[in-house]
Amino acid sequence: MKVLVTGACGFVGRHLARELAENGHEVIATDRREPTAPVGGAAVFETLDVREAGRLDAGVGRFAPDACVHLAGIASVAACEADPAAALAVNAQAALHLLEALRRRAPAAAVLTVSTVQVYGEGAGDRRLDEDAPLAPSNLYGLTKMTGDLLTLLYARGHGLRAMTARPVNHIGPGQSPAYVVPALARQFAAIAAGRAPPVLRVGNLESTRDFLDVRDTVRGYRLLLERGRAGRAYNLAGGRPCAIGALVDRLGELAGCRPAIEVDPALYRPTDASPRLDTARIAADTGWTPRLDLVRTLADIYREAFAGPPPGR
């Protein structure tokens, strides 16, 4: 398939381009900015801002994709809260622009809009949520992503698009920005282990729990959904292994071979919370997907990159 990927220069986009190319697909990579390094696996790259409806429509017509993965968006809760208008424009309205362009220009294309676990809101205890659970986002990021999610499913029902959505938990792995908690902690440990920083680890709330999924498992799920997923369906992706941030700190300390003092940074601290636990029976049944990489392997790869320094373009 010829696959159009929006937001291809980001953390997930780069992994997805490689996953698609390695499995025989032609990747048309787009992003609003020029890449600082080649997007590995992409046959074509073009600068394209999904907020510009006219250019997006023309681009979809020119590319004539067989499939599309919509990754472009503002992925930070804090960034959405800081600029609500931008969050709505990028995460919600741009999804509408893309769906309209695909409806007009590539109506037979398979479409995957990447949503988030945060459309479900706060954790539901030990109960696993399936895709029919009520959507109740508790922040602006979740609300804007929910809008794009529901628009996609509406276009599948109302316009016959082969469209579906993915609702992944937090994904981590090599190449992620240190603006996120796991690579930020790994970089601190690497600096301490190398003697470049004093043995003090600055942290937020270590009691909060997350179900972290390796980005390489995540993008394999996206590829399988393009190949085998069913139109009009939402799909949960999760590792099924909730983990407290404090446990991640312990594991990274083992990898670094050091146990620094812990200092809580008020700027990083958030109230204790837990992400919802997700039922992934639907994606397993429709595509055969299950996670392959455990958290130990993922953390080791993140720490190794933090110690060596990220490659160019990340």
Q: Note the pLDDT tens digit of each residue in 55-73.
A: 999 999 999 999 999 999 9
Domain with CATH 3.40.50.720 in the chain: 2-172+214-239+279-292
Region label for 13, one of left (φ > 0), alpha (ψ between -120 and 50) or beta (otherwise) = alpha
CA 163, CA 233: separation in Å to the nearest integer? 8
> Hey, how many other C-beta atoms are within 10 angstroms of the C-beta on 241?
14
Distances, alpha carbon 10 to alpha carbons 79, 115, 142, 189, in Å: 16, 15, 19, 24
**Distance in angstroms between the alpha carbons of the first and the last residue of the chain:** 27
**Domain 2-172+214-239+279-292 belongs to what topology?**
Rossmann fold (3.40.50)
- Paired with 27 in beta bridges are 3, 42
Domain with CATH 3.90.25.10 in the chain: 181-209+242-275+299-308
Collapsed DSSP state (helix, strand, coil) of residue 261 = strand
Check whether 125 has a pLDDT greater than 80.
no
In this structure, what token pair is assigned to residue 232?
């009009």
- pLDDT at position 314: 46
Q: If 0-12 CB within 10 Å is exposed, 13-18 middle and 19+ buried, where does residue 32 land?
A: middle
**Domain 181-209+242-275+299-308 belongs to what topology?**
UDP-galactose 4-epimerase; domain 1 (3.90.25)
> Taking the model in full, what pTM does it have?
0.95
User: Which one is catalytic: 141, 155, 235, 303?
Assistant: 141
Share of the chain above pLDDT 90, in %: 88
- pLDDT at position 241: 87
CA 77, CA 141: separation in Å to the nearest integer? 5
> Hey, how many other C-beta atoms are within 10 angstroms of the C-beta on 231?
15
Q: Is 141 a catalytic residue?
A: yes
